[in-house]
Structure 1
Amino acid sequence: ADLHTLWNVYVFASIYMNLDKYSPVKYDEKRILAKLKLEDRWVLSRLQGLIKEVTRYMEEYNIHLAVRSLRRFIIEDLSHWYIKLIRRRVWIEEEEDVKITAYYTLYRVLKTFLVLLAPYTPFLCEEIYQKMFRNAEPDMPISIHMLDWPRYDESLVDKELEENMDIVSKIIEIGLSLRMSSGIKIRQPLRRLIVFTDSDKIGKAVNTLSEIISDILNIKKIFVEKTEELKNYIEYEVKPNMASLGPKYKSKAGKIVKALGKIEVNSFVRELKSRGEYILEYEGERFKILLEDVKITERVKEGFARRDFEDGVVLIDTVISQRERYEGLARDIVRRIQFMRKELDLPVDAYIHVVVKVNRRRIKPLTEFSKYISEETRAKKLEITDKPLFDKDFYVKKWNIEDEDVVIGIYRV
């Protein structure tokens, strides 16, 4: 399974690089390095750590530890993380810097990784080397086993960035968990995520890598606030603790219960917690209420989901506007079209004609996302209608999305 992951990374890289006729010798490396995005710099920094680690383990004859490090890198760092982060960049049609820097980074990382792995899986590494790297650079040695051993490059190491990415990956994990517990699928865009923390380190990591959090969690805005601001998103329920009030106030306890039912709860709780007591006035009488006299239940306000972590709290706004709902529908339609492309075994670069049949009331708001649907599915022509015309060339399929039938037809042009 682990070698299958390596093969999938190779297939991903080779398909898109071949489509765009990417050639590593065509570009100036200094210019590319100056334009790297944060995720590119991160994986190159991780690669240097891998080179250093594997080299040391081999020199110490700790072969099993070297293989363990290689496995962790290809699965966790490259396949599960970096590939996920650059997927949209390689879908861009034009030759933009963000795409070329992704190609440069993935090419360099995969090539270096193969050299490190070659002593353990010589034939597989040779196969990928011949198919991908010898074709791209014909002047390279005839075998991967003739390449120099990779050298550790201190200039590419960024430990702070690696630490920031570790922090952000935990925030993303919490965000995904909150989506799941709220029953909101990842394709449904959400408005905002807020990280409440007093840690400057966490705040800096989230602000620096907010684009990555936003992209993976499909949440438009990412904010960082101090922990004290969490009070603006919290509401409380206060109930009398009769075990304490009864013996203390006896016959007057009933008055206190009535008075507690009329207070402004949030200000009552804030004062009680800050001062340790609250002077309750009712029908001309004053009662000193202590923390043990009441039972306080804290909960996040409606429309938010909360999860605490070691150094703070993560909140996501779960209120979905009408426009965001249609954006989610557009993403669902894209997913179905991509599945239909796979069923037809269409090449990645094949263009298609798409017709989507929806209820009439959905046509106008969904049309707003026509450009997105077309770009994600390589649709040269897209029709969103309630009266479709499917001729014999169309592959047509009915889907149920959000409890409503959506009929999609596609054919290759």
Structure 2
Amino acid sequence: DLLADVDALRAVEGAVATARQRLGRKGRWPVAEVVVETGDPEVRDALATHGGLFAERVNAESVWVVDAYAERKRVLDPDMSALGPAVGEDAERVADAVAGRPADLPLPVTVDGTDYEVTAEHVDVVERTPEAVASADFERGTAHVDGTLTPELRRQGLARDVVRRTQELRADLDLAVDERVRLWVDTDDETLRRAVEEHEATLREAVRVETFLAAPPADTRKWTVDGATLELGLEPVAAATLE
């Protein structure tokens, strides 16, 4: 039922938020992909029914549900406390040879003509995901978030930061929710400028922009957005008309 779906999706959304934090990715910025690893039928059904809405809520380009996450690999992690006594002075070189290798044991290793056999006694087997992926568990599964930041996704994120800053200006002016404005946007960063141009329609709708100003108004404000300087200024359309 709907309540069960909501509970299931909240749990997954919480795990996605945790994974985002591990990536250092702000909620306003999109991620390439969320993979939900679960065998729970309620979670799977909830995502199948509300997948589009869920993708919007977690700000992901795509959401997949799988029984087992294919990108997770089981690899070897040397245990120096065991390797040292077993192979002596070659321990570090043996460790370098096996670290990160697939977890297929026993593993033969040759160092300077000397053959060794690495067994389960000498290593731990750990699970690793790609560097761009962060994972977080929830009660009935695991959420894997791919934080690969393509140029397109970065521009989406930058545009949403511009929306947020413009909304702050609206709030400072105590404007009515539906009051339309004229907006000044300036930046010294080409990527940020392109982000505003590409997502102009979103900016117009989100902050009720009637038109963009060709020159700055009397009051403007500057921010640093992802390392770029952003200057914004706005004025209500009604006030501009009276002047």
Query: TM-score if structure 1 supplies the norm length?
Result: 0.51
Which amino acid counterpart does residue 372 of structure 1 have in structure 2? Answer: T
Partner residue, 1:181: 22
> May I ask how many residue pairs the two structures share in their alignment?
234
Identity of aligned residues (%): 21
User: Where in structure 1 are there 5+ consecutive unaligned residues?
Assistant: 1-159, 273-277
C-alpha spacing 1:341/1:286, structure 2 compared with 1 (3 Å): closer
C-alpha spacing 1:396/1:245, structure 2 compared with 1 (3 Å): closer
DSSP 3-state at the match of 1:320? coil
DSSP 3-state at the match of 2:224? strand
DSSP 3-state at the match of 1:236? strand
Which amino acid counterpart does residue 370 of structure 1 have in structure 2? Answer: E
Tell me if the contact between 1:238 and 1:295 (Cα under 8 Å) persists in the aligned partners: yes
User: Where in structure 2 are there 5+ consecutive unaligned residues?
Assistant: 238-243
State which of 392, 396, 399 in structure 1 corresponds to 2:220.
396
Which amino acid counterpart does residue 127 of structure 2 have in structure 1? Answer: E
Partner residue, 2:169: 340
1:94-109 aligned at under 5 Å gives the runs none
CA distance in 2, matches of 1:256, 1:397: 60
Which amino acid counterpart does residue 261 of structure 1 have in structure 2? Answer: D
Which amino acid counterpart does residue 390 of structure 1 have in structure 2? Answer: P
Partner residue, 2:241: none
CA distance in 1, matches of 2:91, 2:107: 11
Partner residue, 1:236: 75
1:7-18 aligned at under 5 Å gives the runs none
Greater strand content: 2
1:62-73 aligned at under 5 Å gives the runs none
Cα displacement (A) at 1:169: 0.4
Matched, 1:405 2:232: no
Partner residue, 1:74: none
C-alpha spacing 1:368/1:256, structure 2 compared with 1 (3 Å): same
CA distance in 2, matches of 1:373, 1:233: 38
DSSP 3-state at the match of 1:219? coil
CA distance in 1, matches of 2:138, 2:194: 42
Cα displacement (A) at 1:371: 0.7
Tell me if the contact between 2:76 and 2:126 (Cα under 8 Å) persists in the aligned partners: yes
C-alpha spacing 1:237/1:291, structure 2 compared with 1 (3 Å): closer
Which amino acid counterpart does residue 209 of structure 1 have in structure 2? Answer: H
CA distance in 1, matches of 2:211, 2:84: 73
Cα displacement (A) at 1:398: 2.2
Partner residue, 1:161: 2
1:263-412 aligned at under 5 Å gives the runs 263=98, 265-267=100-102, 269=103, 271-272=104-105, 278-280=106-108, 282=110, 287=117, 289-359=118-188, 361-362=190-191, 363-382=193-212, 389-392=215-218, 395-412=219-236
Tell me if the contact between 1:370 and 1:382 (Cα under 8 Å) persists in the aligned partners: no
Computing the radius of gyration from Cα coordinates, the structure with the larger value is 1
CA distance in 1, matches of 2:215, 2:166: 17
CA distance in 1, matches of 2:80, 2:124: 6
CA distance in 2, matches of 1:374, 1:338: 11
Tell me if the contact between 1:374 and 1:382 (Cα under 8 Å) persists in the aligned partners: no
CA distance in 2, matches of 1:355, 1:193: 36
Tell me if the contact between 1:214 and 1:222 (Cα under 8 Å) persists in the aligned partners: yes
Which amino acid counterpart does residue 190 of structure 1 have in structure 2? Answer: V
Partner residue, 2:52: 211
C-alpha spacing 1:262/1:180, structure 2 compared with 1 (3 Å): closer
DSSP 3-state at the match of 1:186? coil
Tell me if the contact between 1:237 and 1:265 (Cα under 8 Å) persists in the aligned partners: yes
Deviations 1:371-413 (A, max 9, x none): 1101111111135xxxx51245xx4222232233211111122
CA distance in 2, matches of 1:195, 1:220: 14
Tell me if the contact between 2:182 and 2:212 (Cα under 8 Å) persists in the aligned partners: yes
C-alpha spacing 1:351/1:295, structure 2 compared with 1 (3 Å): same
Cα displacement (A) at 1:331: 0.9
C-alpha spacing 1:235/1:291, structure 2 compared with 1 (3 Å): closer
Deviations 1:12-54 (A, max 9, x none): xxxxxxxxxxxxxxxxxxxxxxxxxxxxxxxxxxxxxxxxxxx
Two-structure CA RMSD over aligned residues (Å) = 2.7
Greater helix content: 1
Cα displacement (A) at 1:314: 1.0
CA distance in 2, matches of 1:329, 1:177: 22
Which amino acid counterpart does residue 200 of structure 2 have in structure 1? Answer: S
CA distance in 2, matches of 1:265, 1:336: 44
RCO comparison, higher one (Cα < 8 Å, 6+):
2
CA distance in 1, matches of 2:27, 2:207: 18
